[in-house]
Amino acid sequence: TFELVGESNIGKSFFLLGQMACAAAGIPFAGVKVIKSHNFYFDAEGGSATLVPLDLDDFEGIARLALALAERYQRLDILIGNAGLLGPVSPLGRVDPKEFEQMMRINVTANLQLIRCMDPLLRAAPAGRAVFVSSGAAHNARAYVGPYSISKTPPEILARTYAPETRPTRER
């Protein structure tokens, strides 16, 4: 049994994490009970979790996090890439280029930086796993949310490219 905290995509990420943990432990996954408690994540069996406040726009911070994980744990068992901003909601002709660039920086480049920095730690794990959460927006062009749809396609291709690069390893 897992108790998870979160809303929206955060909740989806940890739901997926629960499924993966059950699969790795060889136990059936029957679902999760979602609770909200100050944005901390708890496992019902008494495990612990650490909240790491980090702006994914801080690419050097992602690198520092990878170094800290390497020092403390020497590996990373699961990476869930779920970076995303909605960005501007307007007709494409009115999108501010700076807002668009910021959205692309988070939705695309932050996921690349996660792969760059966490890949060695995933490869060091007995069965490292990387999961990237996408959106149907990558395949559905809709008026006024074009920037978001545009920004969700590259991370999907990024993940689909990264996957075969990990096949010769224990990492998936």
162 is catalytic: no
* Residues whose CB falls within 8 Å of the CB of residue 170, separated by 6 or more in sequence, listed in order: 123, 125, 126, 127, 128
- In whole angstroms, give the CA distance from residue 118 to residue 97: 30
Q: Each residue of 103-150: pLDDT tens digit? A: 999 999 999 999 999 999 999 988 888 888 888 888 888 899 999 999
Tokens of 78: 């699961």
Tokens of 41: 């994540």
pLDDT of 28: 53
Q: Which of 41, 73, 144, 148 is catalytic?
A: 148
In Å, what is the CA distance from 88 to each residue of 44, 58, 79, 83?
39, 21, 28, 16
pLDDT band at 36 (very low <50, low <70, confident <90, very high): very low
- Three-state SS for 156? helix
pLDDT of 108: 93
Per the model's pLDDT, the better-predicted residue between 104 and 41 turns out to be 104
- In whole angstroms, give the CA distance from residue 70 to residue 76: 8
Contact 45, 25 (CB under 8 A): no
* Residues whose CB falls within 8 Å of the CB of residue 121, separated by 6 or more in sequence, listed in order: 66, 69, 70, 73, 74, 75, 76, 128
pLDDT of 100: 95
Per the model's pLDDT, the better-predicted residue between 97 and 132 turns out to be 97
pLDDT band at 53 (very low <50, low <70, confident <90, very high): confident
Using the predicted structure, report yes or no on whether residue 47 has a pLDDT greater than 70: no
